[in-house]
Chains A and B, each alone.
Chain A
Amino acid sequence: MQRVRKRVTLPDKRVSEEALNMNELKAKPIYLDYQATTPTDPRVVEAMLPYFTEKFGNPHSRNHSFGWEAEDAVEVARAQVAKIIGASAKEIIFTSGATESNNLALKGVMKFYGKKKPHLITVVTEHKCVLDSARHLEQEGYKVTYLGVKENGLIDLEELKAAITDETALVSVMGVNNEIGVIQPLKEIGTICRERKVFFHTDCAQAVGKIDLDVEDMNIDLMSISGHKIYGPKGIGALFVRRRPRVRVIAQITGGGQERGMRSGTLPTPLIVGLGKACDILSNEMAEENARIAELRDYTLQRFRDRLADIYLNGDEKERVCGNLNVSFAYVEGESLLMDIKNIAVSSGSACTSASLEPSYVLRALGVDEELAHTSLRIGIGRYTTKEELDTAVDAICTAVERLREMSPLWEMAQEGIDLKSIEWAEH
């Protein structure tokens, strides 16, 4: 059955204003890409605003009230950030974001300890900024081990134990994966690292505010934090650097020696205030918020499963953050699916959307068949997502999947009982 899809035409002038508004409402895009970024919470914006205008001082100005006022605000924010991960304020270094934090953690630690301990361990499913920092270190002569992951996306702790040598300075494992949302066993990794006297860094850009984090309980030595993933502003992040036992890093940005010499540059007071406020909100509301989002997530997955056959959830179903659904819709290529549901902002696991034409390296690392990797969507649910939006999105996605499957030779073959693996495809 083919659906004839008509172009949306603008209503002519005779159409009442009410109908016009209805149409605009209908066309309002639905945002389901909370792992990419989040809108800044209006309470955060409100907290930030005075620091652009009347409280504009340089927090490093020691000689006047403008500077003191800004410095006070920065220190309040530092404490708010520290609180959410169980650290002390002095252990928080502000950066421009998680990418910079990850760069500083990996390069900074390896360059400080690298003479005696030139070995770094990380994981194949890490964010590109961790993997790329590792590659740069490799080019400079450091040794890097990339741990694989199991089918559910989690690392094998025995493999980690076996990879640690006397030359290992640092283990870097992300808390929550950005594509598939799986939660790595941070506490167990921390225990192993502490026993072997190896520093443990974790990229928690996707974990803060989603799971409970405690750097003491989890024996975490460095942690990267991002502002814009937690309803804070873009352009701000933090790196937790443990003081006891002390972790030393070589600064990657040098200058005035701010942030205990680890990161020079004038602190952006408004952004820092925003990050602090975002953490403060999470401290109070996280549990309730995540319960609500998890319920929406489970509801959404169930609706997909009720309506469509041959769909697969990528990544562990239990060890997973509340807001992430990464689903493969077999026999339908992800980019064409995105094109069909253009009013719904989700992300495709098929990097066909970028120039590389390669499916996601994360999905491939899990051992997801390449053909299934091409059919995946990441649906991100967050603070402002409503059930109505999800209903609209599920309906639109299912309708698109059904239309595209009718058009898919693979779906046709599967319905005829042909094993797609038995065919000799001409790879191109």
Chain B
Amino acid sequence: MAYSEKLIDHYENPRNVGSMDKNELSVGTGLVGAPACGDVMKLQIKVTPEGIIEDAKFKTFGCGSAIASSSLITEWVKGKSLDEAGSIKNSQIAEELALPPVKVHCSILAEDAIKAAISDYKSKNGAADAAE
């Protein structure tokens, strides 16, 4: 399969690989996918009191496209508000990385992962934040 240069770059030099303490209040964690399906993404965001994502980390079990999609989305969400990050669409990821059709599900997983991380953060930080 021929992959785009951007995809290969994110696969070979993934940005923001790592983990944060999931028990910390300012950290939201999203874990999506399933090992049996061949891909699992863990995406974490660290959020300032003002509701801005100051840091993002990921770990991914999956094909090169899944790794690249998660690496890309961690780059994109940094500095964004939760609402802005939550409105990233999988199609934007698929377009940026020129994912082949059979790999579009990887971008969907990345979108699910950021949404799950945001909702985890909101539920940990109660109604006040959730209602912002």
Contact = CB atoms under 8 A, between A and B. Distances in A.
Interface of A: 2, 4-5, 7, 331-333, 335-336, 339, 350, 352-353, 355, 357, 359, 369-371, 374, 406-412, 420, 425-428
Contacts of B55: none
B60 to A, nearest CB: 6
Interface string B63-105: 1101100000000000000000000000000000000001001
Contacts of A371: 35-36, 38
Given A339-B11, A427-B36, A410 B102 contact: no
Interface of B: 1, 3, 11-14, 17, 19, 31-42, 59-64, 66-67, 102, 105, 108-109
B35 A420 contact: yes
Given A357-B38, A425-B33, A428-B34, A336 B63 contact: yes
A7 B11 CA distance: 12
Nearest to B62: A333
B114 to A, nearest CB: 15
27 contacts: A5-B12, A332-B61, A333-B63, A333-B66, A336-B63, A336-B64, A339-B3, A339-B64, A357-B37, A357-B102, A359-B38, A370-B37, A371-B35, A407-B14, A407-B67, A409-B31, A409-B41, A409-B42, A412-B19, A412-B59, A425-B33, A425-B34, A425-B40, A427-B37, A428-B34, A428-B37, A428-B105
Contact of B63 (A339, A426, A427, A428): A339
B39 A333 contact: yes
B38 A350 contact: yes
Chain B binding surface, main DSSP class? mixed
B102 to A, nearest CB: 5
A421 B63 CA distance: 21
A352 B35 CA distance: 13
Nearest to B33: A428
A417 B82 CA distance: 32
Contact of A4 (B1, B13, B108): B13
A46 to B, nearest CB: 37
B31 A406 contact: no
Contacts of B42: 409, 412
B30 to A, nearest CB: 11
Contacts of A411: 61
Given A359-B38, A428-B34, A335 B64 contact: yes
A341 to B, nearest CB: 12
A404 to B, nearest CB: 8
Nearest to A408: B61
B90 to A, nearest CB: 12
Contacts of A427: 34, 36-37
A357 B38 CA distance: 8
A335 B106 CA distance: 13
